[in-house]
Chain A
């Protein structure tokens, strides 16, 4: 009976050494895995969706292959509802190898701005839930997750209309000029049109106007709107109903700004 017992002992010792050596080397090789994140790039798809691309470079100088590398990002609004989701999967990163991928996220800005109009006008923040998972040496799954907030720059920050100036156009109509100003804090350019409906104090529509805008990101915009309004319909106070139409977003509900 002694020989089988000794054999069991030898086998157990061998497997223990193998297991411990594997575990220690796997843990040790983790320090030789490097992640580099490049500068985020922005693009527009043909269906006018906003794509945020993040180049990620993974260098594996460890002892083992990295399998099933998965990076997923979820962008959430302030109420925790998902705005965008992106996932990148790399089946294998060989040892002493390097892989560069682009992690893409498609954001439907129109959908977001339809839900929360103040994202159009106020700088705020969006929450990001990031999960990175991988398997080391085919045996040890590892996952890291983080929640953080990133600032959201409003495309029409501080949108305001200036004082309406009237000038005679013909016998029946005035030409009304309304100065427009805002700052584009968004990571994309705002190119499109602004349609305006002018209502007098009785709520009657007295004029319509439209202007093209082209506001580059991180820059202020100053322009004006022209409307032709009947002299008889003008009142001292009233309201403007403003519609924005750009490839990225349209507002179904008008922005209402009172004047007078």
Chain B
């Protein structure tokens, strides 16, 4: 009876700690975005839809961070990390239109070639994906070792 009570207490404490960690990570991520946004804001005012594009990305990314933290210690954490890495890759390709970003303001057409930037971001995204897969493999192998012991 006492063991069950202790277990549930431990679970609640664990969950609270995870929730706290997730909140701190989410807030830090938002602060990072907020600081960067101050620099980009003058340009973002000119580009329609840019703010929404970045905000959507940040919201989804923070959600993934929070869910990943809440599910930490389970295989789902790594699943969400993989999903986050895939989301980063997919969203960048989609939002940057394959690296060629075009915009027309009044009579002037602007074209920014972000292919090199996108390629580096893709590589980093793939590295993040590989890391998450390795973490999942490591988690499963460690779990198998403990079970066999």
User: A-side interface residues toward B, CB under 8 Å?
Assistant: 1-2, 4-5, 8-9, 11-12, 15-16, 19-20, 23-25, 27-28, 30-31, 139-148
A146 and B124: CB pair below 8 A? no
**Which A residues are in CB contact (< 8 Å) with B108?**
144-146
Of B43, B109, B138, which is within 8 A of A30 by CB? B43
B135 and A27: CB pair below 8 A? no
**Top 6 closest A-B pairs, CB basis?**
A141-B113, A28-B39, A143-B111, A146-B108, A8-B131, A1-B138
* C-alpha gap A148/B134 in the complex (Å): 56
B36 and A20: CB pair below 8 A? yes
* C-alpha gap A2/B137 in the complex (Å): 11
B49 interface residue (CB < 8 Å to A): no
* C-alpha gap A200/B73 in the complex (Å): 107
**Which B residues are in CB contact (< 8 Å) with A147?**
107
**Which A residues are in CB contact (< 8 Å) with B36?**
20, 24
Interface residues of B in 101-139 (CB under 8 A from A): 107-114, 116-117, 120-121, 124, 127-128, 130-131, 134-135, 137-138
Of B42, B127, B141, which is within 8 A of A12 by CB? B127
* C-alpha gap A29/B120 in the complex (Å): 21
User: Taking CB as reference atom, which chain A residue is nearest B88?
Assistant: A16
**Which B residues are in CB contact (< 8 Å) with A142?**
110-113
In the complex with contacts A9-B131, A28-B43, A140-B117 CB distance below 8 A: yes
B117 and A31: CB pair below 8 A? no
**Which B residues are in CB contact (< 8 Å) with A23?**
117
B107 and A148: CB pair below 8 A? yes
* B96 smallest CB distance to A (angstroms): 11
A24 and B40: CB pair below 8 A? yes
Of B107, B120, B128, which is within 8 A of A19 by CB? B120
User: B-side interface residues toward A, CB under 8 Å?
Assistant: 36, 39-40, 42-43, 107-114, 116-117, 120-121, 124, 127-128, 130-131, 134-135, 137-138, 141
B113 and A140: CB pair below 8 A? yes
* C-alpha gap A24/B36 in the complex (Å): 7
**Which A residues are in CB contact (< 8 Å) with B112?**
140-143
User: Taking CB as reference atom, which chain B residue is nearest A28?
Assistant: B39
In the complex with contacts A146-B107, A147-B107, A12-B124 CB distance below 8 A: yes
User: Taking CB as reference atom, which chain A residue is nearest B33?
Assistant: A20
**Which B residues are in CB contact (< 8 Å) with A148?**
107
**Which B residues are in CB contact (< 8 Å) with A19?**
117, 120-121, 124
A12 and B131: CB pair below 8 A? yes
In the complex with contacts A5-B135, A141-B112, A148-B107, A11-B127 CB distance below 8 A: yes
Told that A19-B120, A146-B108 touch, could you supply 4 new A-B pairs with CB distance under 8 A? A15-B120, A15-B127, A28-B39, A140-B114
* C-alpha gap A242/B102 in the complex (Å): 52
User: Taking CB as reference atom, which chain A residue is nearest B120?
Assistant: A19
* C-alpha gap A16/B127 in the complex (Å): 11
* C-alpha gap A105/B131 in the complex (Å): 56
**Which A residues are in CB contact (< 8 Å) with B39?**
24-25, 27-28
* C-alpha gap A145/B102 in the complex (Å): 11
* C-alpha gap A148/B137 in the complex (Å): 60
A8 and B134: CB pair below 8 A? yes
User: Taking CB as reference atom, which chain A residue is nearest B127?
Assistant: A12
**Which A residues are in CB contact (< 8 Å) with B141?**
1
User: Taking CB as reference atom, which chain B residue is nearest A144?
Assistant: B110
User: Taking CB as reference atom, which chain A residue is nearest B115?
Assistant: A141
* A178 smallest CB distance to B (angstroms): 46
User: Taking CB as reference atom, which chain A residue is nearest B114?
Assistant: A140
* A74 smallest CB distance to B (angstroms): 15
